[in-house]
Amino acid sequence: MSNGLMNRVLPAPAAFQPLKALLCTIPMLLLSAMMLSHGSFPTEPLQRIALGLTYIFCNGLFFLMLYTGKVHRYRSVFFITAAFAFIISFGANLLEVRGSMVLNEANIIDGDTPFCHLVIPMVIIPAALTKTIIFPGTLLNRFASIAGMVVLWLGASVALGRGWCSWVCFYGGLDEGFSRLCKKPVISDIDTKWTYLPWAVLLGIVLTSALTLSPTYCEWLCPFKTVTEFGAITSFKTLIQTVIFVTLFLALVVVLPIITGRRIQCGLFCPFAAFQSVTNKFNIFDIRIDREKCVDCNRCSKGCPTFSLDEASIREGKTLLSCTKCGKCVDICPRQAIRFHIKGTSVSASAESARLLFLYPAFIFATAVGGGMVYGAMVRVLKLVTTGSMF
């Protein structure tokens, strides 16, 4: 490969003209208004301000994705913001309702625990065998009910596949945020054998959950217990569990993403991520590489946050099963050889159309989940600034 060929960097991925980008944003303007307001405009001034700011934030980023062609850049801004907003809004809600973020026995007995999508792989076998849900939540009628979260997950899985992990998951923006702190990674070479670890963890927690009829990942391995609800330290066992949660959070979500520039928790540990990868099999969208344009520079494989590209997959012109459709490889390819793609169509078909058709469902689910979190956090922050209290 000649240096001249390598140095011929093409412009950004196909961007829309301003008017076209604006026209294509109009459907999202209408849909996001309905999703963020839930069909009724708030009466309190602070809520109105928060809703307006959230509305502008979400739709402004969608417009910029279309106008600049840089999907990953603006998706990442939204995704990271939504994740940190989730911590603020979720924590504030727990403090307001319970008076504490601690999960105690009374909460468990009352089913007063929001259902988390990470639990889904663990509840399937026990539900099939015993017809019970091994999670202390409610089936209906409460915030983050079991039925509500499962329906949301099913819809997003059909529409996005493992795109859930870069567009919808309210934890994923945390390790993504920390992974962007260092411009140059301290550790760049990571053995690809580590990509099998999430599958091993998935197998382990599915089997142990079925045997013990309890969500073992939540009880022992979930790093996000550190920043959401957690069990009270009342025994040596709960002390050990807390130490594990904090250690895993600091290692997998904070430190390793910073020094590698990759999403370590999502790419190399999370069992739900492995489970969600299977949904890429039946989702109609994927990422493809035009081999006629590719110059094998490997920027995409080196830059992929979730280790979803390697030399073999590049030669085949496609990503691995673990691809989260974050769009980073599309953004950074110097030859515009990588593109969003609709299965069953030619790789050389309109990249612009495929990208737009993917972005609509992706951002609808992103706004439905992350937009609500940004709005909730915005309300809390505005209350804190104006009254001195979030409540």
**Per-residue confidence (pLDDT) for residue 54, from 0 to 100:** 98
Query: 231 φ, ψ to 5°?
Result: -75, 150
**What is the full per-residue pLDDT of the chain (391 aa) written as tens digits?**
444 444 444 555 667 899 999 999 999 999 999 999 988 899 999 999 999 999 999 999 999 999 999 999 999 999 999 999 999 999 999 999 888 888 777 776 666 788 999 999 999 999 999 998 998 888 887 777 899 999 999 999 999 999 999 999 999 999 999 999 998 999 988 999 999 999 999 999 999 999 999 999 999 999 999 999 888 899 999 999 999 999 999 999 999 999 999 999 999 999 999 999 999 999 999 999 999 999 999 999 999 999 999 999 999 999 999 999 999 999 999 999 999 999 999 987 788 999 999 999 999 999 999 999 999 999 999 999 999 999 9
Global pTM reads 0.94
Residue 285, SS3 per DSSP: strand
**Per-residue confidence (pLDDT) for residue 102, from 0 to 100:** 85
**Per-residue confidence (pLDDT) for residue 1, from 0 to 100:** 45
Work out how many domains the chain is built from and give that number.
1
Query: 198 φ, ψ to 5°?
Result: -55, -35
Strand pairing report for 285-289 and 102-103: unpaired
CB proximity list for 288: less than 8 A, separation 6 or greater? 317, 318, 338, 339, 341, 347
- Find the DSSP H helices in the chain: 3-7, 18-37, 45-68, 71-97, 105-110, 120-130, 146-160, 164-167, 172-179, 197-212, 216, 236-248, 256-260, 264-268, 271-277, 299-303, 311-316, 328-332, 351-366, 372-387
- How far is the C-alpha of 209 from the C-alpha of 203, rounded, in Å? 10
Task: Give the H/E segment covering residue 341.
Answer: strand 338-342
Residue 165, class by beta-carbon neighbours within 10 Å (0-12 exposed, 13-18 middle, 19+ buried)?
buried
- Per-residue b or e along 26-64, where b marks 16 or more CB atoms closer than 10 Å to that residue's CB: eebeebbbebbeeeeeeeeebbeebbeebbebbbebbbb
Indicate the residue type of 307: F
Residue with structure tokens 């963020």?
A: 36
What is the DSSP secondary structure assignment for residue 133, as one 8-state letter? -
**Per-residue confidence (pLDDT) for residue 11, from 0 to 100:** 52
Task: Give the H/E segment covering residue 102.
Answer: strand 102-103
CA atoms within 13 A on the CB side of 57: 24
Give yes or no for a contact between 274 and 119, defined as CB atoms under 8 angstroms apart: no
Provide the residue range defining the domain that includes 276: 3-7+16-387
